[in-house]
Amino acid sequence: MSHHHCATGSYTWAGTWLTRKEDTMAVQVLIRRKIMETRENEVSPLIVKLRSLATVQPGYICGETLNCIDPPGKSEYLVRSTWHSVEVWNRWLNSKERASLNDQIDQLSREKAQYAIYEPLVGGIIPASNIEGET
Checking if the pLDDT of 102 tops 90, the result is yes
DSSP assignments along 5-54, one per residue = EE--SSEEEETTEEEETT-PBPEEEEEEEEB-GGGHHHHHHHHHHHHHHH
Checking if the pLDDT of 74 tops 60, the result is yes
The C-alpha torsion from 38 through 40 and 46 to 51, rounded to 10°, is: 150
According to the model, what pLDDT value does residue 123 have?
60
What would the mean pLDDT of 96-109 be, rounded to a whole number? Answer: 95
For 25-121, CATH number out of 1.10.10.10, 3.40.50.2000, 3.40.50.300, 3.30.70.100 equals: 3.30.70.100
In the chain, what are the domain boundaries?
Answer: 25-121
The CA-based angle 14-8-32, given to 5 degrees, is 70
pLDDT of 14-23, one tens digit each? 444 444 444 4
Is residue 71 reached through a cis peptide bond, with omega within 30 degrees of 0 on the bond before it? yes
Checking if the pLDDT of 38 tops 60, the result is yes
According to the model, what pLDDT value does residue 4 have?
44
